[in-house]
Amino acid sequence: MTAFGCGACGGGSNAQKPNVAGYLVVVKSPIIGSLASSSDTTLVGIGRRACADFDAGERSDAVVADLSGGALPGSADFNSYSMVAATAARDLCPQHASEFASDPAIASP
């Protein structure tokens, strides 16, 4: 089991810190599909790859296409990797959370 420390505990500084534990809670859920059964190391690696793509200025659709190996939009694989990318942006590289904020399917009501 991986130790995560208290960086994900909230409170204190306003600095945006990665929340690896929160990311894993979401991407290990059944809604992600078969990808959820991957190891924590693999899933965190995919999330970090998404963050690197965002850091390089990639649009969210391009990030999902890269992560999914070009899966067709609307397919189960595309949808799974979309959720992983959105969760990575929210929890691993929160400076990129706005990539998904304008998407009405993801934005808060």
pLDDT for 14-24, tens place per residue? 457 899 999 99
pLDDT band at 12 (very low <50, low <70, confident <90, very high): very low
Most distant pair of Cα atoms in the chain: their distance: 42
46-63 residue pLDDT tens: 999 999 999 999 999 999
pLDDT 10s digits, 82-105: 999 999 999 999 999 888 776 444
Determine the Cα–Cα distance for residues 85 and 83; give it in Å rounded to an integer: 5
Q: What is the DSSP letter of 71?
A: P
**What residue segments make up the domains of the chain, in order of their start?**
20-98
83, 95, 80: which is closest to 18 by C-alpha? 95
